[in-house]
Amino acid sequence: MPVGDDCAAIPDGDGYLLLAIEGFMNAFVAGDPWFAGWCGVMVNASDIAAMGGRPMAVVDAVWADGEAGAKPVLDGMAAASAAFGIPVVGGHTNIRHAQSQLSVAILGRAKRLLTSFDAQPGQTLIAAIDLRGRYREPFSNWEAATDAPPARLRGDLELLPEIAEAGLSRAAKDISQGGVIGTAAMLAECSRVGLRLDPDAVPRPGGVDLARWLLTFPSFGYLLAADPGDTPALIARFTARGISAAAIGTVTANRQVIIARKNEQETIWDFARQPLLGCAVPEVAA
């Protein structure tokens, strides 16, 4: 697998081991330590699911100023571990540090991969987002998990490997810190394609400002590319579980990310002029 996907994919028998790691902003860990611990498990599980996998176990590294500083972070991780059914099997703790820091790694396994490198021109881009939540201020994090039944959380994550194994998609990415638009641009760059996006088509909670929503990090949110004929069946998988899903754009061959809204359009990134992450697969000379 090229560098730049949500996880490293390591061939393993009839499938792949998936390995990923997340580090968290110090301000986030200090400001909302319990939720930071929860996210240590949740966002890693999302990375595994985004590649068509099922999470197996996590390890963590926690730095804090005393046991009192470490406890809420570890409590949040324990709560998420129980809710998602993903064991915390080890890690490292330093309680003699001036500030709170957190990093969490995860191991998973996939039978068939979803990747950031397989979107194809002519496909439809689909956004699937759990809108049954709220903002966890002051950050633009849409939180739809901490109060959800564990069985629902686990079943929702299972959708992604099921979609991969059914052959409904080969390209996906979880919506993360870049929001819908930024994540879509990263997917386009890795796949060496362009996108024409309709922001008004993105599933959005009532009363939430569109500009903020497009930059939001949802607790459950994925972008998937699918052939037009498979799009209705893929969307139906999500809506059957109460998750909002819709076609939000088209994959193009021109290597530009274009926002098209009503009678207006704007090119927000042109990969021919400037890379975004620099993780696209190099072109092979003919």
Q: For the segment 26-48, what is each residue's pLDDT rounded down to a tens digit?
A: 999 999 999 999 999 999 999 99
Helices and strands counted in the chain (H then E): 7, 15
One domain for residues 260 and 145: yes
Do 91 and 187 lie in a common domain?
Answer: no
Same domain, 49 and 131: no
Domain with residue 191: its CATH number is: 3.90.650.10
Assess whether 159 and 196 both reside in one domain.
Answer: yes
Give the end of a domain, one of 64, 80, 110: 110
User: pLDDT tens for residues 124-162?
Assistant: 999 999 999 999 888 899 999 999 999 999 999 999 999
102, 128: one domain: no
Whether residues 132 and 220 share a domain: the answer is yes
Would residue 12 count as lying in a domain? Answer: yes
Rounded to a whole number, what is the distance in angstroms from the first to the last CA of the chain? 22
**Tens digit of each residue's pLDDT (9 = 90 or more) over 161-216:** 999 999 999 999 999 989 999 999 999 999 999 999 999 999 999 999 999 999 99
Pick 90 or 139 by higher pLDDT. Answer: 90
User: How many structural domains does the chain have?
Assistant: 2
What does the mean pLDDT of the chain come to? 94
Both 159 and 261 in one domain: the answer is yes
66 lies in the same domain as 159: no
The answer on 253 and 165 residing in a single domain is yes
> 186 and 215: one domain?
yes
Integer Cα distance of 46 and 58 in angstroms? 13
Task: Give dist(CA 21, CA 29) in Å, integer.
Answer: 16
Among 114-123, 191-200, 266-275, the minimum mean pLDDT is found in 266-275
Whether residue 281 is contained in a domain is answered as: no
Asked whether residue 260 carries a pLDDT value surpassing 90, the answer given is: yes
* One domain for residues 14 and 85: yes
Residue 188 lies in a domain: yes
Q: What is the band of 276 on the pLDDT scale with cuts at 50, 70, 90?
A: confident
Q: How confident is the model at residue 263 (pLDDT cuts 50, 70, 90)?
A: confident
Cβ atoms within 10 A of the Cβ of 142, count?
A: 25
* Same domain, residue pair 143 and 74: no
Asked if residue 283 is part of any domain, the answer here is no
| Residue 282, in any domain of the structure | no
Q: 96: domain CATH number?
A: 3.30.1330.10
Specify the pairing of strand 96-110 against strand 53-65.
antiparallel
pLDDT of residue 166: 98
119 belongs to a structural domain:
no
- Is 218 contained in some domain? yes
Domain hosting 132: range is: 124-270
Does the pLDDT at position 7 exceed 70? yes
158 in any annotated domain: yes
pTM listed for this prediction: 0.94
219 Cβ neighbours under 8 A, 6+ residues apart:
42, 130, 133, 141, 142, 143, 144, 145
Q: Which of 110, 141, 157 is the last residue of a domain?
A: 110
Is residue 284 pLDDT above 60, yes or no?
no
252: pLDDT confidence band, cut at 50, 70 and 90? very high
**Residue 275: its pLDDT value, please?**
85
